[in-house]
Amino acid sequence: MGKKLLIVESPAKAKTIQKYLGKDFIVKASMGHVIDLPENEFGVDIEKDFKPKYVTIKGKDKILKEIKKAAKESEEVYLATDPDREGEAISWHIANALKRIKKDGIYRVRFHEITKKAITEAVKNPDKIDENKVYAQQARRILDRIVGYTISPLLSKRFKKALSAGRVQSVALRLICDREEEIRKFVPKEYWTVEALFKKDEGTFQGKLHSVNGKKLGKFDIPDEKSANELVNKAKEASFKVTRVERKERKRKPLPPFITSTLQQEASKRFGFPAKLTMQIAQQLYEGIDLGNERVGLITYMRTDSTRVSEEAVKEARKFIKEKLGSNYLPQKRRSYESKAPKSAQDAHEAIRPTSVFRTPDSVKNYLTPEQFKLYDLIWRRFVASQMKDAVFDTVSVDIEGNGLTFRATGSTLREEGFLKVYPIDFEEKLLPELKEGEGIELQEVKGVQHFTEPPPRYTEGTLVKALEEQGVGRPSTYATIISNIIQRGYVEKEKQKLKPTELGEFINSILKKLFPKVVDVKFTASVEEELDKIEEGRKNWRELLKEFYFGEFKGLLENAEKELKKLKGEEIGRNCPECGSPLIKIHGRYGAFIACSNYPECKYKESLKEEPEKTGETCPECGGELVIKKGRYGRFIACSNYPECTYTAPISYGKCPKCGEGEVVERRSKKGRKFYGCSRYPECDYVSSKPPGGKK
């Protein structure tokens, strides 16, 4: 019997699967896509019904040659790339490349976890390539190519700077810029609350003014200090008694197991992981980890929109809960969760879960990196908790009334921890003394507390993922790439884990909003995703979508943009040219932004763009001048404000290096411009981190 060839995407996955299938199989890795649209040309013939031109990706010739050679020597070929649109397209391209040498015996196999059982079952039950999935991927790829290869050159040519616009990344950039605009325009509004401290026997408890003369207070009903003081004085004159005591049982249900987006959000919130890092670690856990005497995929496929879980996995979870935690943590019936996802490729998968709940995080900890352990522990706990009992709280709400004022006090205690035993969530137990209706209560202290409304916060990677998902923009599998792209291109930067648009990012966003409103329109981009889902379900032709997009409005916008960009010189800054009196404008050029005369080329006046340096509050050790933070080619640094008279500079230090204990942790920039933190003794000490280990000095 001849050999069989199985093709996957990554070497790590190939290594794991080879151990399961044994010597009858050759397992090869394609290293992702091997065939795609050309890198240096448009590659789409719009006039010939959007016919794509596919070529072997640069550097992948050798891989494709090895796959062809192995296929020629094998009786059967199994295409086992990822079970999503991209995986389907990779299999389709490889199958087409093998047609000349292998007319039959090519099969598609799919699995959602890398375990021996899942792999052998998949090979026993091969399938065909799903062409609708391929068409959906092809349509998405061509749409992205149309936007990227038409708008980006226009911007780069006009502003003599390598600028780019992506179909989905431009919408993500718009959300970040719109939020920044909201923050800038935000005007804080003052409001007050009245808070009291009551005494019962030896204990005290707090209450907050809830209503006046029976009318419930709104947020802004106490607008200023004068109004608050009037109520405070009224309270001081009153005799208080308990008018209502209400006791309730409150249940808290466990959260569903993770999908791609919720995993990215929770890892960002708990560990500060960027979406890209979360997906990289999840990929490693999925593809296989060496556990001493075996290599196994620890989690199911990590690109999924579905909270659905197999019956077998639920049975195993319930067995684990009963045996290891106790029957009192196990609900009578299995829990199931409704998927909010569209009926698309990702919804065909299960939720992200451990391949075996009996493989506890502690049992594999020694084989995992700290980051791998954190993520596996999070996934494991979330899945086990999703099949456990509700947490039960006893809550009490008390109204205390006097002189027309009603203060409300609330308390809660945990009665049954339920799923919280495995998946703790922050909550505060608040005890109230035993109170009865009609009894008198002593007021110990009362005061007015001033508050101001706050602007909406900047997005973190996690909250941006949540916003994109809620708006229906992109797919969870693409969020990590979208966010890393806009950071890498200098359109967005991170400030204390928050995403802030750069000046360049806001400039690009303003141009796209003006010239390509549909491209950055959130609802329109979400509707395109729905159309792609229709293609995948066989309810729409892929060429039809491309025609609607290109000829419907985009082509006209493109032609108009060329004319408008010629007129667009820059942003007026509110000053006139000192030489000719014409308005001065800010221009984004090849080497950054500068100020120039709008009357160019008649007037050639220009000046550098001066930024107000950030003050450190410290003095220069050499001349006594003020030290400020400046931006240089390799990141931010400390310098003397008396430059060029004084040339003192120093790196920004974030404390002693935790690895060598001798050097300082300083801010640095990679070749691609990304900020990171490393030891000042490099290369003697190779400590690096994506975030500072301590507070800034």
pLDDT over 90, % of the chain: 65
d(CA 389, CA 391): 7
Judge whether residue 345 has pLDDT over 50. no
More confident residue, 2 or 590: 2
- CB-CB neighbours of 457 under 10 Å: 10
Q: Are residues 224 and 290 in the same domain?
A: no
In this structure, is residue 696 part of a structural domain? no
CA atoms within 13 A on the CB side of 485: 17
Q: Are residues 396 and 302 in the same domain?
A: no
Q: Determine the pLDDT at residue 635.
A: 62
Q: Are residues 396 and 249 in the same domain?
A: yes
Q: Are residues 629 and 575 in the same domain?
A: no
Q: Determine the pLDDT at residue 610.
A: 63
In this structure, is residue 619 part of a structural domain? no
In this structure, is residue 678 part of a structural domain? yes
Q: CA 234 → CA 164, 228, 405, 451, distances in Å?
A: 63, 10, 8, 21
Q: CA 267 → CA 263, 271, 372, distances in Å?
A: 6, 5, 11
Q: Determine the pLDDT at residue 106.
A: 94
- CB-CB neighbours of 237 under 10 Å: 10
DSSP string, 105-116: -EEE---SB-SH
- Domain stop point among 348, 367, 385: 385
Judge whether residue 158 has pLDDT over 60. yes
In this structure, is residue 694 part of a structural domain? no
What is the H or E stretch that residue 648 is in?
none
Q: Determine the pLDDT at residue 570.
A: 65
d(CA 518, CA 529): 14
Judge whether residue 298 has pLDDT over 60. yes
DSSP string, 455-501: PPPPP-HHHHHHHHHHHT-S-HHHHHHHHHHHHHTTSEEEETTEEEE
Burial of 570 (0-12, 13-18, 19+ CB in 10 A): buried
301 is annotated as an active-site residue: yes
Q: Which two tokens stand for residue 214?
A: 């029976």
Q: Are residues 354 and 411 in the same domain?
A: no
| CATH code of residue 472 | 1.10.460.10
Q: Are residues 16 and 60 in the same domain?
A: yes
In this structure, is residue 617 part of a structural domain? no
Q: Determine the pLDDT at residue 293.
A: 84
In this structure, is residue 697 part of a structural domain? no
> 364 falls in which pLDDT band (50, 70, 90)?
very high
In this structure, is residue 683 part of a structural domain? yes
d(CA 171, CA 482): 10
| CATH code of residue 124 | 3.40.50.140
Q: Are residues 602 and 681 in the same domain?
A: no
| CATH code of residue 305 | 1.10.290.10
More confident residue, 589 or 198: 198
Contact 273, 433 (CB under 8 A): no
Q: Are residues 341 and 399 in the same domain?
A: no
Closest C-alpha among 483, 466, 465 to residue 276:
483
The tens digit of pLDDT for each residue in 393-436 reads 999 999 999 999 999 999 999 999 999 999 998 888 898 999 99
Q: Are residues 286 and 179 in the same domain?
A: no
| CATH code of residue 241 | 2.70.20.10
- Domain stop point among 432, 452, 472: 452
Q: Which two tokens stand for residue 39?
A: 């890198």
pTM: 0.79
Q: Determine the pLDDT at residue 694.
A: 57
The tens digit of pLDDT for each residue in 6-26 reads 999 999 999 999 989 988 999
Q: Are residues 61 and 34 in the same domain?
A: yes
- How many domains, in total, are found in the chain? 6
DSSP 257: P
Q: Of the residues 107, 301, 329, 423, which is catalytic?
A: 301
Give the torsion sign (CA, 485, 489, 494, 500): negative
Q: Are residues 18 and 124 in the same domain?
A: yes
> 462 falls in which pLDDT band (50, 70, 90)?
very high
- Domain stop point among 385, 402, 427: 385
8-12, 336-340, 389-393, 463-467 — which is least confidently predicted? 336-340
| CA angle centred on 282, ends 391 and 376, rounded to 5° | 40
The residue segments making up the domain with residue 118 are 4-129
The tens digit of pLDDT for each residue in 43-79 reads 999 999 999 999 999 999 999 999 999 999 999 999 9
In this structure, is residue 613 part of a structural domain? no
What is the H or E stretch that residue 212 is in?
strand 203-212
3-class DSSP state for residue 245? Answer: strand
More confident residue, 669 or 623: 623
Q: Are residues 318 and 409 in the same domain?
A: no
Closest C-alpha among 510, 511, 513 to residue 524:
513
- CB-CB neighbours of 449 under 10 Å: 12
End-to-end C-alpha distance for the chain, whole angstroms: 69
Closest C-alpha among 529, 510, 516 to residue 147:
516
Q: Which two tokens stand for residue 245?
A: 């005591």
Looking at the DSSP bridge assignments, the partners of residue 651 are 637
More confident residue, 631 or 658: 658
